[in-house]
Structure 1
Amino acid sequence: MLFKLSRRNVQRSIKDYSIYFFTLALGICIFYIFNSIESQTIMMDLSDTQKIFLDALNKIISMVSVFVSFVLGFLILYANNFLIKKRNKEFGIYLTLGISRSKIAFMLFYETIIVGILSLVVGIFIGVFLSQGLAGVTDKLFAIDMTEYKFIFSKDACLKTIFYFGIMYFISMVFNFILVSRCKLINLINGDRNNEKLKGTNLILSVILFVISVICLAVAYKLILENGLTNINDKFKLSIVLGIVGTVLFFRALAGFLIKVIQSSKNQYLKNLNTFTLRQLNSKINTNYISMSVICLMLFVSIGMYTASIGTKSAMENTAQFLAPYDMTLTHTYEKQENLKASKEKISETVKEIGFNIKDYTNEYLDYNIYNSQVKFKQLFKSTTDDFLSRQINSMRDFNVPIVKLSDYNKLMKMQNKETINLKDKEVFLFTDMSTIEPSIKEYVNKNKTMKIGEEDFEVNSQYGFNSIEDTLNSGNFATLVVKDENINNYSLVKKCLSLNYTGDKKETENKAVKDLKKCMTEGKKYEENKAVKISAMTRIISLEGNMASSSMYLYVGLYIGIIFLIASAAVLGLSQLSGAIESVGRYEILRKLGVSSNMINRSIFIQVLLYFAIPILLALVHSIFGIQVANDVIKIFGDYDTLGNNIISVCIICAVYCVYFYGTYRGYKRIVNK
């Protein structure tokens, strides 16, 4: 009997709370899809580098999934709390009919099991089919060759999904038991009467709080723009606190402030059902201003994760080729400053002694050295007017700007098929591989005629370079100086390098060279320890694969968190409005008795739901304007990308999903009121 009653209740609730069930199924679907990535790798021809990054991605996804389960668990508890509160009268009737609290609790237990099984079956079923396309997406993102397509069902992802959501549903059942056991019959019977009270607000206090909130947010925006994201100091922490406080005060004061503004125009305030609609909205915001503040901040995080992940991927991919100009680069970095005697033995000679002959893989290579110039980076750019560098320079660690010989620089440019340069005696040329520093370099060479290097004055060349002189995963050369060979006197050595381009088939030579080098470095361990030689290698293929894989990791994690935050936020807003619809049924009946048409009522519902959905995301978008601006400064360290285009695409995708929830809530609200 109880099971039949539970099944009927679920069927009835699905119609009124379809958004909740849709979000549960969608959350389970997304959870399964992202946790099935590991199973998709059986179709992929992975290199060693790609295997390392995919293993790292799977570990990160597993950790993020724990966090995601907490967010979805909160959503389930929040929704269940709403559903139970709105059924107070129903439970009161059960008690008056003689049904015990334990039986009501078991009825809720059955309902939770039915909802859990339905959502798990639907979510995993859809997830299994959608995850088939994930292999193709991963193939493109990681630049992997797919060996053969297979239909993949991830047993591990399925079990993990069932386990996590099973725990959530169990906790939900425990909370349901507690809530029902504490219910009093008088409160249950009078539940709707208590809900019918419209909460008012002090208009003057609301206006004051609204002004304070705007001031808090303005100061927060100013602080974060000045400080940026890389310097975690008191100013950064204060901007976060003020942003949160300003958001909470904004929603606390919003309803009263809106009434004050609209009342100033009597024509609008008294037009149609505007007075009723505004009072409805006022009551809802006053009751849920804390949850609306949290939703706004979650939407802000969602927008930020979307734009940052897409932007980081674009930036890293755009600079991947630029950062790997040669087929291979070997480097020996010196931890302590040493004199020129340390550079007598070239890297090509060092590796030859342990069995790795460079000439077996190339006929185009160069040994070169990078030195310390005694010029401090902060001193060099202390007068820069570039916004990015001026904000970051105080929090950066100072260092000596490296310097290279003109002959080495020109040989490296020839290997890249780029133009060489000519320098006079005591003339210096600057170059960088960071797009964020390029404007400051350009400004410096335009404004400065001379530069002091050590005790000598050098004329600054009117041109500058934007180049990379070694293979690397990330941009890291803020600035490097180039002078004539005879002008480098007794500078301490930073590192020795060797760059080369393969002969023959690039991939075959790469595989042979990497394999041989690993073998030689292992067998030459004794020699390496005796000579204190620590040689590292980077190849173009590894660099490209690493950049593609790293950028895809950022993208997957950003999308995963962003989607979950978005659907959770939209679902909570929708559930709040649908519960409000049940509370307001009596009010709409009174309107009908007063002769108000269905069109006017539907219009009032549309405006109310629209404003309730629009206000949090509009404030989140305002937050995002400033948040994205400082995030872009960090992302640009990885390289250039279309900031405007990526941000617009991200916001449009988020707004599209948000609009689906808005439309579903509006339809559900109308169905409840007109039923």
Structure 2
Amino acid sequence: MFFNLVYRNAQRSRKENLIYFFTLVTAVASFYIILSLEKQDVVLYLKEFESDAINRLLGLMPLLYVFALFLLFFLVLFANRYQLERRSKEFGVYLLLGMQQKRLFWLLMMEGVLTSLFALFMGIVTGGLLAEIISLTTSRLIGQGIIGHQISFSFQAVLYTAVGFLVIQIAALFILGNKLFKEELHSLLYGGVEAIQQMGNAGGNWLMLLSGSVSLGVAYWIVLIYFKLFHLMMLLLAVVLGIIGTILVIRGVARLLNAMALRTKKNETKGLYVFTIRQLQETIANRSTSVAIASILLMLAMLMLANGSSIILSSSEDLENDQQVYDFTVLGENDEVEAFLTSDVMVPYVENLNPLAMGYLKTIEDIEEGPVDWSKLRAQIVSALPEDVEDPGNTGSTSMSGDYPEALNLLGALDYRLDHPYTIPLSAYNRLLGAAGEEKAMMNEDEVSLYLNTRFMTTDQDGKLPVLESIIDKARFDEEPLIQINDKAYQLTPLLPMKGLVTDRSITITAALIIPDALFEELVDPVNQETYWNFTIPDVLVEKEGLMAPMKEASDLISTTSFQFESYLQNFGRQLFYVVAGSYTLLYLGFLFLVIGCTVLALQFLTQMSQTRKRYQTLTYLGAGREQMKASIRKQVSWYFLFPLIPACISGIVGIRAMQLFLVPYISNPGVFIPFVLAMVMVFLFILLVYAFAVYRTAVGEMDQLRWKPTGE
């Protein structure tokens, strides 16, 4: 009999309070997703090439697990409090009929455990499915065809999820159960005395609203000014002012609803207008701090979702670098490296072998400025600057950004060190072009070519530099040399296709000169040279075995030597690690904060609805119809969710703008930043809308349980 009662009550709780059950399922799914991270395809791949870094990341997962456990404990505590308050009359009846408190306590605990087991099953299934979707999506979006997908299921994650969830669920029920049974029987049966509302006076409320608005305004100003500078103390001040301002604004506006209801004209009282405002005012004003905290959680969720997605965006260009040509770069004594790479053991893995030499030009003692004079070229580029852009040479600043005009980026690249540039022999660059499938270049003895890394430039849709190309074309037509090397004039050739010189992307050369081999031997001291031995995996081997296996075998062979080397997969893994470490954590916490914020709002509204349901019963006796009350509830839910959402969105927009100013210099295609972030914001708003609709349906269900007058419609 007792166990049948437990089962029926648990089943009824799940059916009548889907938001409560959904909250428990969400908590379980959140635990599983973060604990199963080590089984993700991307992480399994990174273990092969960035094992130390990924092990450090996974070593931090227990801290994230404890942090999530802490947050979800309060979420579960809040959800269970709503559930127990909703059933307080039922518990009072049990006690009135003679059930002992100890037996009622065990009834409550067993119901909670049974519901938790159902939630655990649903949550693990949901979390496992979401983990597979995340794994498959990331392996396809950022895996570049390298990372495969394999279905995985982490039993260790299931174990820790079950233990963590059941511990916080039992702890929450134990705390709330003890608190519940300390109340008087009358309080359980008829509810407690409603708290007296402190609405303050109109002047004080307006002052509160004004103070909150000023605090938020100052916080926004600090963020926009100091976020890019990363001034820690000022940003901390902005956070404190933002929290205080949000609480004051929501509390001030909620209290002013009272004045709004009092000043309502007679012709505005139709459709339960005053009742709706009074209910909304009471729901928010009595819980303004909770609503403000929910608003802050929503703002944090929006920023973390936007920031996590922007990390993927800012790293996608590195992961999708179409300038990459070589699979391996080896450094060491040239004779030894050449002998090893041409040995029988390495020949099956080596194609397009290219000893690419780079070095600095010799300096003539009489020339203090440097061996290269490019003042004529610089003057042409300066003349191409937009009218509102100042020559960076006048300010002493050299910088590049994806949103700068092309001429300004060119000056930033060339001013950096074109007077003492890197030089590359034409034959080595031609071997690079051949490996990339491009036509080889021809060059006369009095010609040189510019090498520019277009990853840092503003290019057209074809990836070209139209301003520089037009300057070079005009100079060639006029037969005007634009560069002098050691006082000898040289023509600039049309720009060659720009390709990655080495495998390691951390070796970034912004600008260099490609010169004839004879000139390279004449002007570059061997002491100032460095030779990078580059090669690719043969296409035949890739078609037969794929890219991963032969690259892993080649890496193992090179690892047996003392040579320094970098492989494409190692480099790709390093870039991928930054994406995983940043975006996974931020997106996870963003969705976690979003769910917590929405759940707090939902359960708080439903708690207030449960406590004031007698008012709706009274309205039926006063002649109010069912549709009128549904319309009132719909307006209450809409405005109740908008109250915290509006300041959260304003704060979120300011934060996103600050991130945009900070991140755009690191994004080669900043035009897609806002659409990408807006997509995440739309997901955020959709989830919020789902919660609001669920609250409305649950509230209407509560209202439908009232005893209606026959003439109430």
Q: What's the TM-score once normalised by structure 2's chain length? A: 0.73
How far off its partner does 1:418 sit?
A: 8.5
Measure, in 2, the Cα distance between the counterparts of 1:388 and 1:232.
24
Distance 1:299 1:459, change over 3 A: farther
Residue of structure 1 equivalent to 2:600: 572
Measure, in 1, the Cα distance between the counterparts of 2:703 and 2:630.
9
Measure, in 2, the Cα distance between the counterparts of 1:461 and 1:206.
71
How far off its partner does 1:120 sit?
A: 1.2
Residue of structure 1 equivalent to 2:687: 657
Matches within 5 A, 1:60-459: 63-95=63-95, 98-128=98-128, 133=133, 136-137=136-137, 139-141=139-141, 142-143=143-144, 153-180=153-180, 182-185=182-185, 188=188, 191-194=191-194, 197-198=196-197, 200-228=199-227, 231-259=230-258, 266=265, 270-322=269-321, 325-328=324-327, 330=329, 348-349=334-335, 351-352=337-338, 361-369=350-358, 382=397, 403-405=421-423, 407=425, 411=430, 414=433, 417=438, 431-432=452-453, 434-435=455-456
Distance 1:576 1:432, change over 3 A: same
Q: Which amino acid aligns with 2:316?
A: E
Answer with 552-561 or 116-125: which moved more.
552-561
Residue of structure 2 equivalent to 1:594: 622
Aligned-residue CA RMSD (Å): 5.0
Distance 1:174 1:462, change over 3 A: farther
Distance 1:84 1:546, change over 3 A: same
CA-to-aligned-CA distance 1:160-182 (integer Å, 9 cap, x gap):
22111121122113313431354
Measure, in 1, the Cα distance between the counterparts of 2:149 and 2:440.
45
Asked if structure 1 preserves the Cα contact closer than 8 Å seen for 2:451 and 2:498, the reply is no
Measure, in 2, the Cα distance between the counterparts of 1:421 and 1:601.
83
Asked if structure 2 preserves the Cα contact closer than 8 Å seen for 1:61 and 1:557, the reply is no
Measure, in 2, the Cα distance between the counterparts of 1:411 and 1:428.
12
Q: SS where residue 158 of structure 1 aligns?
A: helix
How far off its partner does 1:587 sit?
A: 1.4
Q: SS where residue 422 of structure 2 aligns?
A: strand
Residue of structure 1 equivalent to 2:640: 612
Residue of structure 1 equivalent to 2:666: 637
Asked if structure 1 preserves the Cα contact closer than 8 Å seen for 2:403 and 2:665, the reply is no
1:505 aligns with 2:537: no
Measure, in 2, the Cα distance between the counterparts of 1:21 and 1:601.
26
Distance 1:330 1:665, change over 3 A: same
Distance 1:661 1:107, change over 3 A: same
Measure, in 2, the Cα distance between the counterparts of 1:23 and 1:512.
48
Distance 1:564 1:364, change over 3 A: same
Measure, in 1, the Cα distance between the counterparts of 2:230 and 2:531.
32
Residue of structure 1 equivalent to 2:655: 627
How far off its partner does 1:625 sit?
A: 1.5
Among 566, 569, 582, the alignment partner of 1:537 is 566
Q: SS where residue 651 of structure 1 aligns?
A: helix
Q: SS where residue 382 of structure 1 aligns?
A: coil
Distance 1:209 1:198, change over 3 A: closer
Measure, in 2, the Cα distance between the counterparts of 1:307 and 1:403.
39
How far off its partner does 1:205 sit?
A: 1.9
How far off its partner does 1:664 sit?
A: 1.0
Unaligned runs of 5+ in 2: 364-368, 371-391, 405-414, 471-481, 706-713
Measure, in 2, the Cα distance between the counterparts of 1:218 and 1:419.
59
Distance 1:570 1:467, change over 3 A: farther
How far off its partner does 1:505 sit?
A: 3.2
Answer with 546-555 or 579-588: which moved more.
546-555
How far off its partner does 1:67 sit?
A: 2.7
Asked if structure 2 preserves the Cα contact closer than 8 Å seen for 1:298 and 1:565, the reply is yes
Measure, in 2, the Cα distance between the counterparts of 1:432 and 1:260.
64
How far off its partner does 1:384 sit?
A: 6.8
Alignment size in residue pairs: 639
Measure, in 2, the Cα distance between the counterparts of 1:238 and 1:510.
49
Residue of structure 1 equivalent to 2:609: 581
Measure, in 2, the Cα distance between the counterparts of 1:81 and 1:282.
22
Name the % identity.
20
Residue of structure 2 equivalent to 1:395: none
Answer with 378-387 or 210-219: which moved more.
378-387
How far off its partner does 1:55 sit?
A: 6.6
Distance 1:290 1:604, change over 3 A: same
Q: Which amino acid aligns with 1:369?
A: M
Measure, in 1, the Cα distance between the counterparts of 2:576 and 2:5.
54
Unaligned runs of 5+ in 1: 333-345, 390-398, 529-534
Q: Which amino acid aligns with 1:327?
A: Y
Determine which structure has more spread, i.e. the larger CA radius of gyration. Answer: 2
Q: SS where residue 106 of structure 2 aligns?
A: helix
Q: Which amino acid aligns with 1:404?
A: Y
Asked if structure 1 preserves the Cα contact closer than 8 Å seen for 2:264 and 2:274, the reply is no
Measure, in 1, the Cα distance between the counterparts of 2:552 and 2:698.
62
Asked if structure 2 preserves the Cα contact closer than 8 Å seen for 1:323 and 1:475, the reply is no
Q: Which amino acid aligns with 2:251?
A: R
Distance 1:189 1:556, change over 3 A: same
CA-to-aligned-CA distance 1:176-224 (integer Å, 9 cap, x gap):
34313543456546634326x5553433222222222222222222222
Distance 1:250 1:511, change over 3 A: same
Asked if structure 2 preserves the Cα contact closer than 8 Å seen for 1:475 and 1:639, the reply is no
Residue of structure 1 equivalent to 2:386: none
Q: SS where residue 421 of structure 2 aligns?
A: strand
Q: SS where residue 505 of structure 1 aligns?
A: helix
Distance 1:443 1:191, change over 3 A: farther
Matches within 5 A, 1:512-531: 515-516=553-554, 518-524=556-562
Q: SS where residue 272 of structure 1 aligns?
A: coil
Asked if structure 2 preserves the Cα contact closer than 8 Å seen for 1:437 and 1:478, the reply is no
Asked if structure 1 preserves the Cα contact closer than 8 Å seen for 2:424 and 2:512, the reply is no
Measure, in 1, the Cα distance between the counterparts of 2:496 and 2:647.
42
Q: SS where residue 193 of structure 1 aligns?
A: coil
Measure, in 2, the Cα distance between the counterparts of 1:478 and 1:259.
65
Distance 1:414 1:582, change over 3 A: same
Measure, in 2, the Cα distance between the counterparts of 1:324 and 1:347.
27
Measure, in 2, the Cα distance between the counterparts of 1:271 and 1:296.
31
Measure, in 1, the Cα distance between the counterparts of 2:328 and 2:319.
15
Asked if structure 2 preserves the Cα contact closer than 8 Å seen for 1:356 and 1:517, the reply is no
Q: SS where residue 405 of structure 1 aligns?
A: strand
Asked if structure 1 preserves the Cα contact closer than 8 Å seen for 2:537 and 2:550, the reply is no
Q: SS where residue 194 of structure 2 aligns?
A: helix
CA-to-aligned-CA distance 1:395-452 (integer Å, 9 cap, x gap):
xxxx97583116469658745549979999999968445548989xx99999xxxx99
Measure, in 1, the Cα distance between the counterparts of 2:632 and 2:509.
58
Measure, in 2, the Cα distance between the counterparts of 1:488 and 1:168.
72
Q: What's the TM-score once normalised by structure 1's chain length? A: 0.77
Distance 1:352 1:466, change over 3 A: closer
Asked if structure 1 preserves the Cα contact closer than 8 Å seen for 2:606 and 2:699, the reply is yes
Answer with 355-364 or 153-162: which moved more.
355-364
How far off its partner does 1:523 sit?
A: 4.1
Measure, in 2, the Cα distance between the counterparts of 1:184 and 1:71.
31
